[in-house]
Amino acid sequence: MRSRPILFTLVLVALVMVAGSHAYAAPPSPATSTVDPCLSVCPGGDVNFHVAVRDASSNPVGASSVLINFSNCLGLTLCPPRVSDPYTIVPPSSIVMTANAAGIADFQIRAGGVCVGTVNIFADGVLLASRGAVSSPDQNGDAVVNATDQALLAAKLGGPYDPTADLNCNAALEAVDTGILNAHLGHSCEVVVPVQPRSWGTIKILYR
């Protein structure tokens, strides 16, 4: 009979230790955290953007709140949210998800459109990194990848370097980028809506 109080005490101590370690977890560190060098999206949600949140000692920061702010990315079109999405849309211009126990947040962003503008990535309010552009096989932001996007990409391949057409993030515009776009042909947000006007600090979100 005496073993029950002892067991209860041990469980209570363990819970206190876990709660305490979470409450006093070290904050994320931009120096040791990892953020993919390029940010690309597709209406089909099949392009991954990887974020690994770590503290100053390179320990993973589990359950970190990772937020991507697109307020300067006016060409982006977010698809309507679905229950299966790993992230949540935070109006007017951000998405957020919770990192797993290893501090990993993998964003498969269902969106289209491209932009050149600062995109900030935060973890628990700490700025981890900024990216200067968003690329997508949906070059015109109408939430579907089709022949129009092929033509737009082809025109960019013949000109000066444009990060919005660099779909494989190798700092060059080449036939490989065309092949990547072609692999996404037909991907869409599964909605048909008229294009709506955009304003500063606002991202268009498509709804029926």
155-183 as b/e, with b when 16 or more CB fall inside 10 Å? ebeeeeebbbbbbeeeeebeeebbebbee
Close Cβ partners of 148 (under 8 Å, ≥ 6 residues apart): 139, 140, 142
Buried (b) or exposed (e) across 110-120, using 16+ Cβ within 10 A?
bbbbbbeeebb
Enter the tokens of residue 163. 């990060």
**Higher per-residue confidence, 6 vs 157:** 157
Helices of type H across the chain: 3-23, 147-157, 175-183
CA distance 33 to 15: 28
And the tokens for 158? 């013949």
Mean pLDDT for the chain overall: 86
**Lowest-pLDDT range of 81-85, 168-172, 204-208:** 204-208
DSSP SS3 for 164? helix
Res. 17: pLDDT tops 70: no
Spell out the residues 6+ positions from residue 203 whose beta carbon is closer than 8 angstroms to its own: 70, 71, 73, 74, 76, 77, 78, 92, 93
Residue 197 has pLDDT above 60, yes or no: no
Question: What pLDDT score does 11 carry?
Answer: 36
Helix H or strand E encompassing 95: strand 94-98
Beta bridge partners of 67: 96, 122
Distance (Å, whole) CA 166 – CA 156: 10
Helix or strand or coil: residue 165? helix
3-class DSSP state of 149 = helix
65-78 pLDDT, tens per residue?
A: 999 999 999 999 99
Q: How do residues 95-147 score in pLDDT, each as one tens digit?
A: 999 999 999 999 999 999 999 999 999 999 999 999 999 999 999 999 999 99
| pLDDT confidence of residue 92 | 92
**DSSP at 144:** B
Task: Report which of residues 120 and 18 the model is more confident about.
Answer: 120
Q: Which stretch of 11-20, 158-167, 174-183 has the lowest confidence by average pLDDT?
A: 11-20
The predicted model gives 48-60 an average pLDDT of 98
On whether the CB atoms of residues 47 and 41 are closer than 8 A, the answer is: yes
pLDDT for position 198: 47
The pTM of this model reads: 0.82
Position 25 scores a pLDDT of 72
Name residue 155's amino acid.
Answer: A
